[in-house]
Amino acid sequence: MGGLAVPDLDEVRAFTARLRLASADGDAGLGIDLLDAIETLKSVGCAVQAVITDDVATSIRHDREARQLPRSEWDRGIASQIALARRESPNRGGRHLGFARALVHEMPHTLDLLRSGRLNEWRATLLVRETACLSAHDRAIVDRRLCADSGILDGVGDRGLVARAKALAVELDAAAVVRRHRKAISERRVTTRPAPDSMAYLSVLMPVEQAVCLQATLSRDADSLIATGNSGGRTRNQVMVDLLFARGTGASLASGVPVSVNLVLSDESLLAGGHEAAHLQGFGPVPAGIARHMVADAIDGVAETTLRRVYSCPQSGALTAMESQSRTFPKSLKTLIDLRDRTCRTPWCDAPIRHHDHIRSYGNAGATSADNGSGLCEACNYAKEAPGWDARPLRNPGRTHLIDLGTPTGHHYRSAAPPLPAAAHLRAS
């Protein structure tokens, strides 16, 4: 590249260490120049990561092909290795890998703009996303029309960029766009994610006409209740949420939630006014006062409420172990693992637990126990079955459950289970 020497790993690490010291020293003009230069650096870094990611994946696939492994094994676990190196979830690792393949093999002009700093990672991702339904030939046409000249997208906002990419995609292959829409409909789903102040976002991915109809119906009925004086002093937004809950569950707000919900809190928080946060499975930390209120509401309502005692180490909050002679994990042991691990145990993956896995395989004398068990999402469980992966539980007396995860490239990552809520005076001792 222009006669410049290719930096080795030590030089990259040394520059990273020096960059930490960068400062504008109160000079606003210098600060703006530094922001611009660092933004360019981020884009260049993203482009280099894409090239290296594709190179890593190609190298692993060629090695497995040379060893005459089944074709189904060539790609297994690669995205997970990329994710671990980037300290992100396997799902994002798969996106990074797909992004890299698209740029390197089908969108060279987009890659060049990214490498020059004229395009940032997010905008490059939008271009890759909006052309995903096209053939490699048509995708290359969009790439050339939008990115061959660096001035074409200068000053164009993200929405404008997406609109141009969509318009070209429809022009080149309208049928592919229709097929993508049909596929999107098949992927409709409902998800939740935490929000501030012990609230949650309920997200519904559905066809646009259904979403607009649902919003309009809730708005109309909320307005009707307010107009007739039956809103109970609630705002329009509050009434819409309450209507959605009532219609979605078939129950009123006062009748409790008629499904199994695991709320884990210390006995001190439940019974003695303690302040240690509880943990709501599938959501995260909940303040002790709100947790007590949730328990009281459940007991007062018509929903069945069960109190289960779970014992943990007073110092670390780690759950006590349970053993089984069965090859598969019995229901009670699965529950214990779910409560201990909360989400997938692969580092940086917070996907819901779908599989209860032997860390050291059953066929390799691995016990069916809490110590040798871990909760994994489906993708991570399949990834670790690829050649070269290794996992083992680490002895960690008096502390939370610990796993050592080894990858085919010889890198190792550790995963520690989160501590359970414990009384404050025990944690301080």
Nearest to 349 by CA among 38, 83, 169, 52: 83
d(CA 81, CA 165): 31
d(CA 155, CA 37): 18
Query: What are the Cα distances from residue 53, in Å, to 237, 301, 411?
Result: 46, 54, 16
3-state secondary structure of 308: coil
Nearest to 373 by CA among 422, 335, 316, 407: 335
Residues 54-73 as b or e (16 or more Cβ within 10 Å = b): bebbeebbeebeeeeeeeee
Residue positions counted in the chain: 429
- Give the rounded distance of the alpha carbon of 321 from its chain centre: 29
d(CA 197, CA 175): 45
DSSP codes, 18-50: HHTT---TT-HHHHHHHHHHHHHHHHHHHHHHH
Query: What are the Cα distances from residue 200, in Å, to 193, 287, 322?
Result: 6, 14, 33
pLDDT for position 213: 83
pLDDT for position 4: 79
Q: Which two tokens stand for residue 206?
A: 């559905």
Once rounded to an integer, what is the mean pLDDT over residues 44-66?
96
3-state secondary structure of 323: strand
Close Cβ partners of 57 (under 8 Å, ≥ 6 residues apart): 75, 78, 82, 97, 100, 101
If you search the block for the tokens 């307010």, which residue do you land on? 226
Nearest to 157 by CA among 198, 120, 111: 120
41 against 271, higher pLDDT: 41
pLDDT for position 258: 47
DSSP codes, 284-313: EEE-HHHHHHHHHHHHHSSS--------B-
Q: Is the dihedral of CA 36, 42, 45, 51 positive or negative?
A: negative
Question: Strands, DSSP E only, in 139-196?
Answer: 189-195
Planar angle of CA 37, 39, 41, nearest 5 degrees? 70
pLDDT for position 260: 53
What's this model's pTM, rounded to 2 decimal places? 0.72
**Phi and psi for 282 in degrees, rounded to 5?**
90, -5
pLDDT for position 254: 45
d(CA 98, CA 88): 15
| pLDDT band at residue 66 using 50, 70 and 90 as cut-offs | very high
pLDDT for position 257: 47
Give percent above pLDDT 70 in the chain: 81
Q: What is the DSSP-derived secondary structure letter of residue 6?
A: P
Nearest to 415 by CA among 349, 365, 356: 349
d(CA 237, CA 246): 14
Provide the Cα torsion 417, 418, 421, 422; round to 10°: 70
What is the maximal distance between C-alpha atoms in the chain? 77
Kindly tell me if the per-residue pLDDT of 141 is higher than 50: yes
| pLDDT band at residue 313 using 50, 70 and 90 as cut-offs | low
d(CA 138, CA 184): 21
User: How do residues 217-252 score in pLDDT, each as one tens digit?
Assistant: 898 889 889 989 888 899 999 999 999 988 887 765
Tell how strand 323-324 and strand 402-406 pair up: unpaired
Kindly tell me if the per-residue pLDDT of 59 is higher than 50: yes
Q: What is the mean pLDDT of the chain?
A: 84
User: How do residues 12-39 score in pLDDT, each as one tens digit?
Assistant: 999 999 999 999 999 999 999 999 999 9
Kindly tell me if the per-residue pLDDT of 298 is higher than 80: no
| pLDDT band at residue 110 using 50, 70 and 90 as cut-offs | very high
Planar angle of CA 52, 104, 382, nearest 5 degrees? 65
Kindly tell me if the per-residue pLDDT of 297 is higher than 80: no
Question: Which amino acid, one-letter code, is at 407?
Answer: T
Measured between alpha carbons, how far apart are the two ends of the chain, in Å? Answer: 60
User: How do residues 190-225 score in pLDDT, each as one tens digit?
Assistant: 988 888 887 889 999 988 778 878 888 898 889 889
3-state secondary structure of 370: coil
Nearest to 110 by CA among 196, 62, 184, 51: 51
- Give the rounded distance of the alpha carbon of 326 from its chain centre: 32
| pLDDT band at residue 312 using 50, 70 and 90 as cut-offs | low
